[in-house]
Amino acid sequence: MYKIFLTILLGSALCAELVDGIAIIVKGEAITLHELKKEMTNSNISVADASNVLIRKKLEAVEAKERKLKVSTVDVYDDIKKTAANNGMSVSEFYEAVRADNGMSSEEFKAKTKEKLLAQKLYNAISYSSMAQPHDEEIREYFDMHIKEFEHPNKFNVMIYRAKDKATLEGKISNPMFFSASIKTEEQQLEYNKIPRDLGNFLSSTDINSFSPIIPDGKGNYMSFFVQEKIDIVEVEIDTVKAQISNILMSDKREQVLSDYFARLRGNSEIKTLRLP
């Protein structure tokens, strides 16, 4: 009798502990206090904003499950390989860069990539049936309003600063007179058409006589570009960026469709807030 009573007490205590750890229940799925606090810290946002982010993610997860959407390991690897190539790295170098930048292991990054691809599949399933392709007038209007964004230098004269320790590089950026023997420098001229497009856009967005944000170099170090000069600004024709503009407009339309969809879904779903941090 004593053993039975003790088992009941322990079970009740465990249930109470589990309930105490739950902040919000979304369609039967729990969001924990720990998840909320982590989102608040990682994104530097309020508890209200963190709640909205996690409720949206939970609704997406439930919706994907109900639609039986899946992502294979091949899909995940292909996406990582493509991202690595866009950054001028091999897959192994890219994993090292991710680990150096935020401490995320390759397995953790694969899980994040799978989550991203699953979300994309869900977004496509929801939005594409509700959207029409942008017409030429829309594309022309966007181009005329954002024409400066499509211009880019033909070449960049840069000084590249590298360091094993990110804090040391941050010290250099905050105080150009700062010296450390651990910081390696290299002067280069980079041609826009001979470097990865992401890097070209990254340098284009960095002001002359300014340091770029710090990024991993793919070899376990950190790097920052000091842009000394931008040479020969190239003005593009609308035909060369038409597909790019179409993608931007479709992305904007898709986000609006998704926001409306999940707002309606949230309004029709059972969501209970038990406690907040």
pLDDT tens digit sequence for 156-188: 999 999 998 888 999 999 998 888 899 999 999
Q: What is the pLDDT of residue 150?
A: 85
- For residues 224 and 214, is the Cβ–Cβ distance under 8 A? yes
Residue 198 structure tokens:
């992401």
The C-alpha atoms of residue 90 and residue 181 are separated, in whole angstroms, by: 29
Least confident residue range of 84-88, 150-154, 189-193, 263-267: 84-88
Residue range 122-139: mean pLDDT, rounded: 81
Least confident residue range of 8-17, 101-110, 150-159: 8-17
The C-alpha atoms of residue 117 and residue 110 are separated, in whole angstroms, by: 10
Q: Residue 128: pLDDT band by 50, 70, 90 thresholds?
A: low
The C-alpha atoms of residue 140 and residue 13 are separated, in whole angstroms, by: 65
The C-alpha atoms of residue 268 and residue 247 are separated, in whole angstroms, by: 31
Residue range 233-253: mean pLDDT, rounded: 88
Contacts of 187 (CB under 8 A, 6+ apart): 157, 158, 159, 160
Please give the helix or strand (H or E) that residue 212 lies within, else none. none
CATH 3.10.50.40 range(s) for the chain read: 152-234
For the cut 90, the answer to whether the pLDDT of residue 240 exceeds it is no
Least confident residue range of 2-6, 29-33, 60-64, 162-166: 2-6
77: left (phi over 0), alpha (psi -120 to 50) or beta: alpha
Q: What is the pLDDT of residue 258?
A: 84
With pLDDT > 70 as the criterion, what percentage of the chain qualifies?
91
Other Cβ atoms within 10 Å of 121 Cβ, number: 16
CATH code assigned to 152-234: 3.10.50.40
Least confident residue range of 15-19, 52-56, 239-243: 15-19
For the cut 80, the answer to whether the pLDDT of residue 203 exceeds it is yes
pLDDT tens sequence across 62-73: 888 888 999 999
For the cut 60, the answer to whether the pLDDT of residue 125 exceeds it is yes
Least confident residue range of 15-29, 198-212, 253-267: 15-29
Q: What is the pLDDT of residue 9?
A: 44
For the cut 70, the answer to whether the pLDDT of residue 3 exceeds it is no
Mean of per-residue pLDDT scores for the chain: 85
Cα pseudo-dihedral 228, 230, 231, 234, rounded to 10 = 170
